[in-house]
Amino acid sequence: MTVFNVPDPIPTITAALAMAGPNDTIRIAPGTFPEALVIGAGKDGIRIIGSGVNKTILEGNNALNTAFDITGSQLVTIECLTVQNYTNDGIEINTNSNILKNLLVTGNGAEGVHITSGGTHNLIMDVESSGNNNDGIDIDTNFNYCINCIVKDNGFDGFSITADCNFIYNNTAQGNGDGIFTTSTATDNLFINNCLISNTDSGLDAEGDGNLIYCNQAIGNTNFGFEIEENNLVLGNKAAKNGTDGIMAADLSSGTDNRILKNKIIQNMMNGINITGIDSIIDNNCVVDNTLAGILLSATSDSNGVRSNCLEGNNPDIQDDGGPANVIDENICETSVPDGLCENCGFNSIKTKGRFFPPHFK
């Protein structure tokens, strides 16, 4: 293994990359480097390491195309630097098993980071992608991992995902369009422990099916907290102070076979949980102080189970406008339309008692 140091004695990153072979390291001192790099064949396993974010800066000057285009090698590591002001993507990955970490990617003309349909099993960790014209991080293929990233103030979505089986964990998405958006082709993705704040559309809009949405927070988004289609598991999330519904399970043509369990749904501007489809389970949720219904079974809904939820301060707590096969049992609440859907059971306020879950939630 050889270590190449830029700019002394190697004057440019481009020159060091040309000299480097598999598993070599390029270390870059503090400074600004107006370069666009294509990492082609014969560079498997190389590391490109800056001296830190805002110390080593790859500068596009709104003239260069892409800072790093990984096209022909895999197992490439890029870390500890800033990528800014490129006309296209900041970083584009077209191969497998690469690592991006400890980066700032900002002010680029398209995506901040783009994993194309040619790349799987890539890791993006501790990366901030902000102020890019399109998406913060765009994932167009299966089996990639985004961990501890910040995507904020991007022109389109924070995360845009068009493929399957990606792992999106412990990230923050703020001030984008959707915090996280998936197309209808994106299925079986894992969204765990993400914070989705003040996005101008929804916190998470999952148009694909079969996703795990676990332990996320969607707070203060303009549209829905969580918008889902079919066969999703929505477990242990918090949706608060969003501009429309906390959780929206979409229309009759989809919106089916969802499991919505043990979520906290608080102070949303419309409904807490809005079910418009069929064959879903809504159990053990805490739904408090939403402007309209706590749980709304819309006119197109049918064959849903709404059981053992705890509701208070909604208008009403439960509203069933749906079909005759909806089942509503053992919900602790005060008001319903039609009357008689609540089981008060000596109701103690979950607000004044300072608790959000009755014993069976724990």
* Per-residue model confidence as pLDDT tens digits over 87-123: 999 999 999 999 999 999 999 999 999 999 989 999 9
Residue 362 has pLDDT above 90, yes or no: no
Taking the model in full, what pTM does it have?
Answer: 0.95
pLDDT at 250: 81
Reported as a single tens digit per residue, the pLDDT across 57-77 is 999 999 999 999 999 999 999
Per-residue pLDDT tens digits for 172-211: 999 999 999 999 999 999 999 999 999 999 999 999 999 9
- For the chain, percent helix, then strand, then coil, each to nearest 5? 5, 40, 60
Per-residue pLDDT reduced to its tens digit, 291-349: 999 999 999 999 999 999 999 999 999 999 999 999 999 999 999 999 999 997 555 66
- DSSP H or E segment with residue 79: strand 77-84
pLDDT at 344: 75
How does residue 1 score in pLDDT terms, banded at 50, 70 and 90?
Answer: confident
Domain boundaries, the chain: 1-156, 184-362
Architecture per CATH, 1-156: 3 Solenoid (2.160)
Report whether 336 contacts 312 (CB < 8 A): no
**Cβ(124)–Cβ(102) under 8 Å?**
no
**Contacts of 100 by beta carbon, 8 Å cutoff, 6+ apart:** 77, 78, 79, 91, 93, 113, 122, 123, 124, 125, 127
DSSP structural state of residue 278: B
Confidence of residue 252 (pLDDT cuts 50, 70, 90): very low
Indicate whether 353 pLDDT > 70.
Answer: no
